[in-house]
Structure 1
Amino acid sequence: MIFEQIATGGCQSYLVGCEKTSAGALIDPEASQVDRYLALAARDGLRIRFVIDTHTHADHFSASRQLAEQLGALSVMHRASPAPGVQMRVEDGEMIVLGQLRLQVLHTPGHTVDSMCLVCEDRVFTGDTLLIGGTGRTDLPTGDPEALFESLFGRLLRLDPALKVYPAHDYKGRSHSTLGDELATNPRLQQRDKAAFVQMMRQLDLSMPTHLTEALRTNMSGGKTVAQMLAEASASVPFMAMAELLSRVQAAPTELIVLDVRERDAYEAGHIPGARLLPRGQLELRVNAELPDPTARIVTCCEFGRISTLAAATLRSMGFQRVAALDGGMKAWLEAGYPVSAGPGA
């Protein structure tokens, strides 16, 4: 077996492959690591055929759809998953065939209704059903402590105790454990009475994941994250350095249009000298009146450099091919001690 474990903060994802056929799969891929996955697969000579999520993630952004589209692979989740566009939905007892490898599906609801584990040779990919020294939480959407108890003690922990445990998360730098070690030392697994286990899980006082709402929205709907939108916009527009823009502003008169896309109150509090105001929310509606010349050279700016990047990409998609975004924003401009103008006019 070809095997790579990829850690992203506390998130763990896995590249597995068949040495004889070069067929590969990615398990629980994270959106920020797409290029790394592709590089590892290329290095190991693998063709990714399946991109698998063990459950609907609430604390990070899945790269499954992006990778499936990019690689011509199949996205895989349990049949109970609410996510749209899943190309292969699997159920308990089925197998994902990966050359001469077999990934055995074990439906283990509890952390989420669609949670599953994957048994492959000497290891089991446990998603968030079983963690090293812990279990998945049950207080997020579709979580169920009673179902988790049954999944753990009625299904997963009845497998060979020598099986290596590879979870979807670990925050202490550990790579793996075994089912036997977890049964012996995992504090949550010492509560083997169902009522006591359920009470323990319901009394856990855990903080909510940082990106809970956005992660659930994108992972369940197939929509884009803000980071993805910014990355796509950044890849489609050029940028101008602040020092370069300053030199052009000071070399008046200039044909360059500095377009401030913040709201009016932020603009009037302080803007780049000579900048024109066109809030991002009004861009499409006012662009024809405000920017009648599609050949004009334009630099967009905002408070932190993110909204201006989106605005520049939008303008380029509308035919303004000489648009760049300021590399940075008004916050960085002020911190650099560059000049500003205040009030309603330029």
Structure 2
Amino acid sequence: MIFHQIATERGCQSYFLACEETCMAVVIDPEETLLDRYLGLAAQEGVRLHYVLDTHTHADHFSGGKELAQRLRIPLIMHRNSPAPFVDMRVDDGEKINLGKLSLNLIHTPGHTADSLCVLVKDRVFTGDTLLIGGCGRSDLPTGDADQLFDSLFNKLLLLDPATRVYPAHIYSDRDYSTLAEEAEHNPRLQLKQRDDFVQQMRTLTLREPDHLSEALRTNLTGGKTVEQLIAEAAHSVSFMSLEEVLRRTNTDDPEIILLDVREREEFAAGHIAGAIHIPRGQLELRVNQALQDPTLRIVVYCEYGRISTLATATLRDMGFTRAVAMDQGLQLWREKNYPLTEK
């Protein structure tokens, strides 16, 4: 097996694997700034990339999966639960991808995200964010679930051969890899072997949100279009409601109006329109079905300047919420007009 481990300065890891006999290759968890590096490795080793695989929908870095797959006209592989619309090959637990004489054995390991996959290849497992060296994926981001993470770790990964090498999507030390035996013995997150204790541990962790959380999720879900491109496209497909009309309807407690604030958490906490539901734009595709189950609702979407809300409204309409409209201008003008806000 030809194998290369490629790291960024931020500790993100991607992996280049190829079958020596058939010269077929795959990149696991490609990062958008390293596409030329992967192509250079293929040329250097005399192999051809046949697949690209993302272990999950990343919230902490920008995936190069879609661009690499489209550039080479090869399939992008993700779990069937991936919310990304551009995935070419959707796979599930217990399946495998044949890469020449190599087998990519797929293990569905939800918990960090609902679409998390681990990939077992010979003596090593590529764990994405499910299992890290000395840690594990957090379960407090969109689609995370501490109960599912417990099962993925203790009832799937740790049942593999203890000598299996662990190659995660992030490494925050000078290690290149670990083993399942090392992690079982020394990883602090794995010392609480009772489900309730583990779940309580994960739910009480105090962790800051990843840098560019919403932006990374948005980009990884749309495949790399810029915000400006998306807003320009969205502006031609949505209608708007004036600030005065929104104020009038909120003052009359209009039962048909649902206000949706798509700003970041800190902005929402600093002041929002009373009664608004909060879903940051970058998490909209992941959380909207839980928060807004009725597609007949009339949803008024707002943000700070009226631009991101336009984008969010177009997304909602594409998802079947055809009565969604954007609040014209945004909360900055609402604030300038001294219209009421609350922090509750």
Q: TM-score, normalised by structure 1?
A: 0.65
Deviation of 1:3 after TM superposition, in Å, equals 0.2
The answer for the alignment partner of 1:169 in structure 2 is 170
The answer for the alignment partner of 1:190 in structure 2 is 191
Q: Kindly indicate whether residue 7 of structure 2 is the aligned counterpart of residue 4 of structure 1.
A: no
* CA 1:60–1:191: 2 relative to 1, 3 Å: same
The answer for the alignment partner of 1:80 in structure 2 is 81
Q: Kindly indicate whether residue 255 of structure 2 is the aligned counterpart of residue 218 of structure 1.
A: no
Deviation of 1:46 after TM superposition, in Å, equals 1.5
Deviation of 1:222 after TM superposition, in Å, equals 2.2
The answer for the alignment partner of 1:60 in structure 2 is 61
Kept in 1, the 8 Å contact 2:67–2:223? The answer is: no
Q: Secondary structure at the match of 2:4?
A: strand
Deviation of 1:21 after TM superposition, in Å, equals 0.5
Percentage of pairs with the same residue: 61
- The correspondence of residues 20-35 of structure 1 with structure 2, limited to 5 A, is 20-35=21-36
Query: How many corresponding residue pairs?
Result: 229
Q: Secondary structure at the match of 1:210?
A: coil
Kept in 2, the 8 Å contact 1:18–1:101? The answer is: yes
Pick the structure with greater CA Rg: 1
* CA 1:187–1:82: 2 relative to 1, 3 Å: same
* Letter paired with 1:158: L
Q: TM-score, normalised by structure 2?
A: 0.65
Structure 2 gaps, min length 5: 231-344
1:256-283 deviation digits (Å, cap 9, x = unpaired): xxxxxxxxxxxxxxxxxxxxxxxxxxxx
1:61-93 deviation digits (Å, cap 9, x = unpaired): 100110001112110000011011111000101
1:281-308 deviation digits (Å, cap 9, x = unpaired): xxxxxxxxxxxxxxxxxxxxxxxxxxxx
CA distance in 2, matches of 1:97, 1:176: 24
Kept in 2, the 8 Å contact 1:28–1:168? The answer is: yes
CA distance in 1, matches of 2:13, 2:225: 21
CA distance in 2, matches of 1:61, 1:223: 8
Structure 1 gaps, min length 5: 230-346
Q: Secondary structure at the match of 2:218?
A: helix
* Letter paired with 1:53: D
CA distance in 2, matches of 1:59, 1:227: 21
Bigger shift: residues 107-116 or 214-223? 214-223
CA distance in 2, matches of 1:13, 1:138: 22
Q: Kindly indicate whether residue 185 of structure 2 is the aligned counterpart of residue 201 of structure 1.
A: no
* Letter paired with 2:209: M
Q: Where has structure 1 moved over 3 Å in runs of 4 or more?
A: 225-229
Deviation of 1:163 after TM superposition, in Å, equals 0.4
Kept in 2, the 8 Å contact 1:214–1:225? The answer is: no
CA distance in 1, matches of 2:63, 2:179: 26
* Letter paired with 1:2: I
* Letter paired with 1:189: L
Q: Secondary structure at the match of 1:39?
A: helix
The answer for the alignment partner of 2:151 in structure 1 is 150
CA distance in 1, matches of 2:138, 2:38: 28
CA distance in 1, matches of 2:73, 2:50: 7
* CA 1:10–1:225: 2 relative to 1, 3 Å: farther
CA distance in 2, matches of 1:225, 1:100: 39
* Letter paired with 2:5: Q
The answer for the alignment partner of 2:322 in structure 1 is none
- The correspondence of residues 1-346 of structure 1 with structure 2, limited to 5 A, is 1-8=1-8, 9-225=10-226
CA distance in 1, matches of 2:12, 2:111: 19
CA distance in 1, matches of 2:165, 2:42: 23
CA distance in 2, matches of 1:135, 1:217: 23
CA distance in 2, matches of 1:90, 1:7: 26
* CA 1:225–1:32: 2 relative to 1, 3 Å: farther
* CA 1:19–1:228: 2 relative to 1, 3 Å: farther
Q: Secondary structure at the match of 1:89?
A: strand
Deviation of 1:40 after TM superposition, in Å, equals 1.1
Q: Secondary structure at the match of 1:69?
A: helix
Kept in 2, the 8 Å contact 1:111–1:128? The answer is: yes
Q: Secondary structure at the match of 2:190?
A: helix
Q: Secondary structure at the match of 1:14?
A: strand
* Letter paired with 2:182: D
1:1-39 deviation digits (Å, cap 9, x = unpaired): 000000012100000000001000000000011111111
